[in-house]
Amino acid sequence: MEFLYISPEFPPNYAQFVLRLNDEGVNVWAIGEADFFSMPDSLRSALKYYARTDLNSFPAVKEAVADLHNTQAAAGVTPGFDIVESNNETWLSLEARINEAYDIRGIRPLDIELLQRKSGMKARFKEVGLRVAQGERVQNPPHALQLAKTLEYPLILKPDIGVGAAGICKVTDESELYQSLQRLEGDYVLEEFVEGRIVTYDGLTDWDGNVIFENSLTYGDGVLDCVLGKDTFFYLKREIQETLAGIGRRLVGAFGIRRKFFHFEFFEIDGEYMPIEINCRPPGGPIVDMMNYSVNDDLYAAYARMIAHGRTSIETDKKYYCAYIGRRDRNYTLPHDEIMARYGEQMAEYGENPLIYQGAMGRYRYIIRDPSKARLLKISSELLKTSD
């Protein structure tokens, strides 16, 4: 099997997808923007060939793909690819363009309207009978100001296509809205501000769109709050509320997600779930690793087996709750050495985050796990206490 991977070096933990695909005998070819020799030795060794290019320029991408085709031909391989994958929201539309240009099975540019455009998602949520935050796409300031008159402040203004908290702002009155609109480019969605705990439904689907692994996270605060300086905390649950799982499976079908990971976000309000957005890729940062820690298994390997052999298996019985604590440059009550002395048994991972993650995820990450939710939350609280 000939597999084209986009941007294999980022995020760093997703190099595990390439390593596991290589283990299963899949030929992994790659394009990206990083210098080849900046990648870990293990990743470089797992790639058949790598072409460095500007991923934001489709003509440059086509030149890189031609380079890969020529290398395949020189190696006695019929030029072409069976699958293109990005596993990264930034390059999902590029994946779709490559599929269309070279007639490769997978998502197409028309699918991006549903898979990345928030206004498209909102329309599909309504079609399947789910309640959504009131609002719509706005294309100019007069439209936004007129819409705001029918909605009560505070409001949320966010890019129609965007990743994480980038570009999102909360506005509390007409003056703030007007000032925010002056700085915007492209299409934005203006909608009511919703108070509710954010939970997720995440997982992996097989070639037929069946959910073969599912997961749910609860956030302490939204990503926007973390970017604005709050400590980052969320945890993965051992159980998934059946109503949430049922809605999540319906949305997997409604958005046609096949042989891919997914990450759906919801507001939980009085036991009901209001969809915020869907993402047709793995949940970000270390969450795939956290899912592995929760079941003592390997989703990277499970994905690779599915790609290589058309079928796979993965442990689904969650043995642990798993929490992420992102600490910033503050005075915390417990120093690192004392944390490790007290909670080393629960510590699944510790390290300094890549600089690009630190705004949303904190400078230092602690990932802990425990069979007891109460004990996990108590430990998390201890790690987040400050002495300020």
Please provide the size of the chain in residues.
388
Say which residues have a Cβ less than 8 Å from residue 283's Cβ, sequence separation at least 6: 200, 202, 215, 217, 261, 263
108/61 Cα distance (integer angstroms): 16
Residue 229 has pLDDT above 60, yes or no: no
How would you classify the pairing of strands 135-138 and 83-85?
unpaired
Mean pLDDT of the 256-261 span = 95
> Would you place residue 4 in the very low, low, confident or very high pLDDT band (cuts 50, 70, 90)?
very high
Positive or negative torsion for Cα 151, 152, 153, 156: negative
What's the whole-number average pLDDT of the chain?
91
> Would you place residue 255 in the very low, low, confident or very high pLDDT band (cuts 50, 70, 90)?
very high
pLDDT at 222: 44
| 120: amino acid identity, one letter | G
Q: Are the beta carbons of 322 and 235 closer than 8 angstroms?
A: yes
Fold topology of 134-192: Dna Ligase; domain 1 (3.30.1490)
39/352 Cα distance (integer angstroms): 18
pLDDT at 221: 54
Question: Of the given ranges (89-103, 310-324, 353-367), which has the lowest mean pLDDT?
Answer: 353-367
Phi, psi for residue 224 in degrees, rounded to 5: -60, -40
pLDDT at 136: 86
pLDDT at 150: 87
Say which residues have a Cβ less than 8 Å from residue 244's Cβ, sequence separation at least 6: 199, 201, 216, 266, 268, 273
pLDDT at 145: 84
Greater model confidence, 210 or 224: 210
Assess whether the previous peptide bond of 141 is cis (omega < 30° from 0): no
> Would you place residue 149 in the very low, low, confident or very high pLDDT band (cuts 50, 70, 90)?
confident
Q: Are the beta carbons of 303 and 14 closer than 8 angstroms?
A: no
Q: Where do the structural domains in the chain lie, given as residue ranges?
A: 2-111, 134-192, 197-384
CB atoms within 10 A of CB 371: 12
DSSP 293-350: HHHTS-HHHHHHHHHHHS----------EEEEEEE-SS-BSS-HHHHHHHHTTTEEEE
pLDDT at 271: 85
93/112 Cα distance (integer angstroms): 6
Domains 2-111 and 134-192 share a fold: no
pLDDT at 162: 67
Using DSSP's 3-state secondary structure scheme, residue 362 falls into coil
Mean pLDDT of the 1-20 span = 95
Fold topology of 2-111: Rossmann fold (3.40.50)
Mean pLDDT of the 15-24 span = 97
Residue 224 has pLDDT above 60, yes or no: no
Q: Name the architecture of domain 197-384.
A: 2-Layer Sandwich (3.30)
> Would you place residue 173 in the very low, low, confident or very high pLDDT band (cuts 50, 70, 90)?
confident
Percentage of the chain lying above the pLDDT 70 cut? 96
Residue 110 has pLDDT above 80, yes or no: yes
Residue 182 has pLDDT above 90, yes or no: no
Say which residues have a Cβ less than 8 Å from residue 358's Cβ, sequence separation at least 6: none
| Tens digit of each residue's pLDDT (9 = 90 or more) over 303-351 | 999 999 999 999 999 999 999 999 998 899 999 999 999 999 999 999 9
> Would you place residue 165 in the very low, low, confident or very high pLDDT band (cuts 50, 70, 90)?
low
Mean pLDDT of the 240-247 span = 95
pLDDT at 164: 55
